[in-house]
Structure 1
């Protein structure tokens, strides 16, 4: 079984984990519908870039 030769330092451990974070969703206000929606997603009413894409 492999055993590390030295203990991993706190700094190395934290550097490795810098990408393990939760990102907040990008929310923008859609003027055509008058509601908030996530960027690059279809709205709940079926609109994308001001056009009806889902009936």
Structure 2
């Protein structure tokens, strides 16, 4: 439920198509990289995606 709450609060990237939520694979890759870099676990409620350059 935590991930649903942060998506609802517009704090985590997701796209709703019909009743389904799709999370961009880049967001998951970035979250995994952050966990690897920190050597621990990344909390979805606290993690924020990097802003796209441009």
The alignment's TM-score, normalised by the length of structure 2, stands at 0.25
Structure with higher RCO (Cα < 8 A, 6+ apart): 2
The alignment's TM-score, normalised by the length of structure 1, stands at 0.25
Q: Which has the higher helix share?
A: 2
- Give the greater-gyration-radius structure (CA): 1
